[in-house]
Every structure is written in C-alpha cells, then in structure tokens.
Structure 1
Amino acid sequence: MEKTTQIYGIRAIIEAVNSKEEIDKVFLQKGLKGDLKKELESLLRRNEINIVYVPAEKLNRLTKNNHQGAVANISPVRFYSLEELVERANNKDTPALFLLLDQLSDVRNFGAIIRTAECTGVDGIIIQKKGAAPVTADTIKTSAGAAFKVPIAKVDHIKDAIFFLQASGIQIVSATEKTNDSVYDISFKGPIAIVMGAEDQGISPSILKASDYCAKLPLLGEIGSLNVSVACGVFLYEALRQRTRN
C-alpha cells in the first residue's frame, strides 16, 4: 500500500533522488546557503524535479522534524513513461483509451478522476511534470485505491505528449465549451485520448488547436460548467457506452 510521502533534510533528499525515488516536489528554504544546498539544487534540476522556495515557517508547518531547510514530497505510486503506456495499450485487444490532464491542480479532483478512469478501463493517465496535482495521501484516498491500479505517466509538456500519441495512431478529443460539437457526436470507438483542462482555465488554446476533435457537454441550467471530475466521468462513460454497445 502507501509508503512514506515525505522526507526531510538535504542529505536525505539527495540520497532519495540518487535512489530514484518518485519525488513530486521539493520545498527549499529561501535564503539557504552552503555547498550542500547547491548540490541538492543542481541534482533536482538535472532530474527535472520541481523546486519551490518557501520561508522557514512553511517548512516548520510541513514537518516538526529537523528539516535543515528542505522537505520533499514523495509519490506513493510508481510513474511510467509515455512510451510504456502506449506499448502496454498496444498489447491489448481493445482500442487504447487515455486521459490527458492539462494543469489540473486539485488533488481530490485528481483522485476522483483516477477512480472513474479505473472503472471505465482507461489504459493510462498523462500529466505534466510541472503544475499538475501531485499524487498525495488525499489523492489515494479519493481514488479509493485506484491510483495503484491505473498507470500514470509524467511528461515535460502535454502538447508534446499529444504529438507522440497522434504519431502512434491515437486521436485526441479535448473537452471544452469552446466548440459547437457535442460529446455525443464524437466517435470514441477507435484509439482515443481525452483531454481535460484545469479547474479554472480549462484547456490551453495551443492544446485545443493541436486536438483532432473538440467536444462539449450539453448544459441546460444557468451554471456554465461542471466540476472537471464530473465532466470527465461523462466523457469516459460515453466512450464506454459506445465501445460496449452491440
């Protein structure tokens, strides 16, 4: 099950990185000096691990232990490469079904999406290394454990992942209200990757432009949008309905 999701101390974090732990983010104390701190920063940048500079008070709230100016969040799950996800999906008898999350930042929404993805047979979820919601204890809890079952890949840029998927024969469907096409007019029977956007800004324009299709959900009330995890569930179950229909 879940392993420790936090480590503290510069030397401990350096050792964790060198041991290939799945580190989501490192909080470093502002104004921290010394060669060991520089060594850690260099190591984190080489491994493309997020660094957030915070005051000492923030670190004191994160842990009561002697943090030495550094606290790291460790993911409780293993991450895959995008190439691994596509290869795994290609080895199945059913058409690939992926989710791409464009800057989704709420861990509970992330957990709810993972849970629905597991229930609808999603082959993998793709998130960006920087700015995406981390896999935390709250994510695991909200997903009801599905985070241990659905493969998740981290990529440098969602747009590059889209180009790779398209080159692999997978079409991209972006969920957005900025279209006249309904989700019910789109075919999900072939290899598909569904893109869901951030809670506040939706999908970025460059990703919409790169998509094969854009689709929206019909909204009959006065509220202009659904919660992203709810909207994602509608898209995934429409895909499942089409794929299981006789």
Structure 2
Amino acid sequence: MNNRGTAIITGASSGIGAATARRLAAEGFDVVLGARRMDRLSDLASEIGGVALPLDVTSPSSVASFVASVQACRVLVNNAGGARGLEPVASADEDHWRWMWETNVLGTLRMTKALLPSLIESGDGHVVTVTSIAAVEVYDNGAGYTSAKHAQSALHRTLRGEHLGEPIRFTEILPGMVETEFSVTRFEGDATRADGVYAGLTPLTADDVADTIAFAVTRPAHVDIDEIVLKPRAQASATRAHRDAVRD
C-alpha cells in the first residue's frame, strides 16, 4: 500500500479518535496521535506503529509544543471535544461552558491555525472536524454544548471559503448517538446515567465514525466531501429516537 502521508488525530486516546487512528493506519497513513492520557496513547501508538505525543488542546503552550514536534501533516482530524453537564440556561454552570468552548472551539482553532501551513505545503491537505448533530440542532438543557458545536462548525465551514483555490480540503463529520466515553464525561463519571442515553436502541460505534472519516480522506484530491451527517437508524434527530422496550 502506498504511503498516504501523515495524519494527525486529536483526542486519540479513546473513542472516535482511537478508532480513527487505527483505521487511518490501516489505510497507509503515518499516524501521529495527540491526547492528554499518555498511557493509553502510547499503547495505541505501539499497536498501530504510530507516534504518541502529549496534547491538551485547551493549552496554547501544549499545542505549540505538539506542533513543533511534528515534521509534516497532510490530514488533520480535529476530534478532541466533548460535553459537560445538562442544565437549562437558567442554571448554567459557567465552568462547564468555559471548558466546552475551550475544548471544542478554541482547541479546533489552535490546532487548525498552527497546522495550516504544513497542510497546504503537503499539496493535498485535508482538515476533518468532528462536530455533532448538535452543530445543526438545539435541544432543551443543552445550550452550552450546542452553542459550542455551532461555533466549531461555523469556524470549520468558514475555512472552506478562506482557502478556496488552495490545495486543501475541508470535511465536517456530524455524528448522532455514538456509544463512547462521551456521555460518561458529560455526566461526570455517572456510568449508569450514561448507559441510559443508549437504552433501547443500537447506537453508532466509534468504528462507524472512523470508517466514515477514512472514506472522506481517501477520495481523489479533486473531491471535497463538505459534510457527512450520520446517525443510528433508530435516531431521527437530537431529540427523537425509537427505543425498544427495555427488559429487566
């Protein structure tokens, strides 16, 4: 298999990021993995023949150090992100909001801004940003997350026009329900509450999303898949899903 260049994946220690790292390595990319949990990251890098580097996208100095250690970049997968809390605006937790905006929005900004020169220099750069159906929908008690994902999406879509005519593509991936650590993080470690999110239906897996990302970044250079929305068959929207009766 021909070498496809270097793919950098943020939030690569688990979930969609880890699955994407495995999938892109299998597709022939040299994979550089970034995340805070270096124990997990190092194990994954050893498994797939990748490079593990510490990365906290909420820290400008961490991003700068990470980028300084990278020799080249043809594909950037902005995957680091997440949600915290599920409160109405009237009782919003500002710390939760601050973390969501720092991680989802400013984290994507920092990584993309820092790596744009390398991406363009590659001659066929590709920025993939994993947002969510929350980037196009809103729902009660979710304003912190949906507002951050709307902003992240707007940032990503703006890049498409700003770099029109340059050798770089932009793809937004908007998943619905994916069973990862996402809900555990949102509910601050409450695994029982997190499991309830997926009760009675078959959610997407991290591998499902990774397959979709791999498809987008392996299209011919003249093909830009602007956005892909993927949801479980049982999910129609952020607030509407069919659930089978859950038996004890």
Q: Give the TM-score normalised by structure 2.
A: 0.35
Q: Give the TM-score normalised by structure 1.
A: 0.35
Q: Which one has a bigger Cα radius of gyration?
A: 1
Larger helix fraction of residues: 2
Larger strand fraction of residues: 1
